[in-house]
DNA sequence: CTGGACGGTGGAGTACTGTCCAGGGTCAAG
DNA sequence: CTTGACCCTGGACAGTACTCCACCGTCCAG
C-alpha cells in the first residue's frame, strides 16, 4: 500500500509516516519507481503505536520493542507478553488516577484548596 | 522563601523554577538584593501544577488557569470548580484506559495479535 | 502530451519543556 | 578580606514529535 492510502487509513499525515520510517518505527519496501510500499500489517501496527504512545512511551522505545519483536522467533507470544505488560501498566496508571482523584475530591470545597494534601 | 529552598521542597531544579517564572507559571517578589522571594503558597501550587501536568495539561494552560484564578474574587470556589473539572477528566481518562485494556486483553494469545481489533 | 494527483528528497522550522553555562553579584563565617 | 554557598542574567543547547517547504519525478486521464 502506498503512503497516501496508509495515511488515510490511519489518520496520520504523509509527513508523519515518512518521519516514522526515518526513525525506524515503520518499515517499507520500495516499488520500482521509488515509491514506498507498506505491508498491510502497517495499519494495525500503527494502531498499536498509538496505544503505546497514549501510555507514555516515546517513539524511540516503541521502535525498540518493534525491532526486538521482528527479530524474535516467537513473535506472536512475545507480542502477547508485551500486551500483558501494557495491561499491567494500564492498571497501575488507573490506580494512580484513582489516588489523584481522591486527593482532589478531598480538597474540593475546603477553604484553602491549595493547602498540602 | 528563596529559590534554593523551594527547589529542595518541590524536587524541582532552580533552573526549572526560573523557567516556570519566565513562563508565568510562578510569581515571586524580589528581595532588596535582587533575589527571588517566593510565597509559601508556591509549594502547594507547584504540587497542583504537577497534578495538572500529569493529566496532560501544558504549562501554558496551567499558567492561564492560574492567572484567571488569582484574578477571580471567589478564588476558593473557582479552584474547587477546577478540581471538579480535573476529576471529571480523570474519570474520562480512566474509562479510556479501561477500553484500551479490554482491547489489549482481547488480543492476548490470538494467533495474529496485530490484526485489527 | 499536458494537467493534476500523487510520490520522492533534504533541510529548515516549530512548540514544548527543560538544562547548562559563562560571567558576575551577595552574604555570612572564619 | 577571603572563601564558599547562594543568587542573578542572558543565551545557547537538547530531546521529542512533528510540520512545512522547495524542487523534482511518476503516472494516468482526457
Q: Is the pLDDT of residue B25 over 90?
A: yes
- Cβ < 7 Å from strand C, B residues 19-38: 19, 31-34
Residues in chain A with pLDDT values less than 70: 75, 109-117
Residues shown for chain A: 117
Q: Are residues B83 and B66 in the same domain?
A: no
Could you tell me if residue A113 is inside a domain? no
**Model pLDDT, residue B83:** 80
Rounded CA separation B69/B25 (Å): 12
B117 part of a folded domain: no
Residues A42 and A83 in one domain: no
Distance from CA of B33 to the nearest CA of A (A): 29
Average the pLDDT over B73-79 and give the result. Answer: 75
Domain assignment of residue A114, yes or no: no
Let me know whether A8 and A42 are in one domain.
yes
Q: Which nucleotide is nearest to B33 (CA to C1')?
A: C26
Residues contacting residue B26 through CB under 8 Å, at least 6 positions apart? B17, B20, B38, B42, B45, B46
pLDDT top residue among B114 and B82: B82
Q: What is the pLDDT confidence band of residue B110, given thresholds at 50, 70 and 90?
A: low
B88 interaction partners in chain A (CB closer than 8 Å): none
**A66 and A80 fall within a common domain:** no
Q: Determine phi and psi for B30, rounding to 5 degrees.
A: -120, 140
Q: Are the beta carbons of B86 and A104 separated by less than 8 Å?
A: yes
Residue A57 lies in domain: 1-71
Whole-number mean pLDDT of chain B? 85
Percent of chain B's residues with pLDDT above 70: 91
At which residue does the C-alpha cell 515571586 appear? B28
CATH number of the domain residue A10 falls in: 1.10.1660.10
Give the pLDDT score at B28: 95
Burial of A64-97, coded b for 16+ CB within 10 Å and e otherwise, reads eebeebeeeeeeeebbbebbeebbebbeebbeeb
pLDDT at B70: 77
Nearest to A43 by CA among A67, A14, A8: A8
Per-residue pLDDT at B82 exceeds 90: no
CA-nearest of B100, B18, B40, B52 to A115 is B40
Contact A109 B80 (CB under 8 A): yes
pLDDT tens string B31-59:
999 999 999 999 989 988 988 888 888 99
- Looking at the fold, whether A4 and A42 belong to one and the same domain comes out as yes
Residue A79 · residue A70 · CB < 8 Å: no
B8 and B23 together in one domain = yes
Cα separation, B100 vs B93, in Å, equals: 11
Give chain B positions within 8 Å (CB) of A101: 87, 90-91
Q: How far is CA A116 from the centre of its chain?
A: 35
| Residues, CB < 7 Å to strand D | A 13, 15-16, 19, 31-34, 53, 58-60; B 2-5, 7, 14, 18, 34-36
Min Cα–Cα distance to chain A from B15, Å? 24
- Please tell me whether residues B83 and B99 are part of one structural domain: yes
Residue B115 falls inside a structural domain: no
Whether CB of A4 is under 7 Å from strand C: the answer is yes
Residue A111: per-residue pLDDT = 45
Give chain A's domain count: 2
The partner residue sitting opposite A41, judged by closest CB among B80, B111, B114, is B114
Q: Do A87 and B105 touch (CB under 8 A)?
A: yes
* A46 and A102 housed in the same domain: no
* Same domain, yes or no: A66 and A83: no
CB contact under 8 A, B87 and A101: yes
Please indicate, yes or no, whether residues A67 and A10 belong to a single structural domain of this protein: yes
Amino acid at each position: 500500500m502506498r503512503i497516501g492510502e496508509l495515511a488515510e487509513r490511519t489518520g496520520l499525515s504523509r509527513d508523519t509516516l515518512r518521519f516514522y520510517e526515518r526513525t525506524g518505527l515503520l518499515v517499507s519496501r520500495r516499488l520500482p519507481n521509488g515509491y514506498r510500499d507498506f505491508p498491510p500489517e502497517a495499519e494495525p501496527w500503527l494502531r498499536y503505536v498509538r496505544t503505546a504512545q497514549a501510555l507514555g512511551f516515546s517513539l524511540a522505545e516503541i521502535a525498540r520493542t518493534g525491532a526486538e519483536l521482528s527479530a524474535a522467533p516467537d513473535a506472536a507470544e512475545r507480542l502477547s507478553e508485551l500486551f500483558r505488560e501494557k495491561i499491567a501498566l494500564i492498571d497501575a496508571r488507573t490506580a494512580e488516577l484513582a489516588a489523584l482523584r481522591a486527593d482532589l475530591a478531598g480538597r474540593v470545597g475546603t477553604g484553602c484548596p491549595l493547602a498540602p494534601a
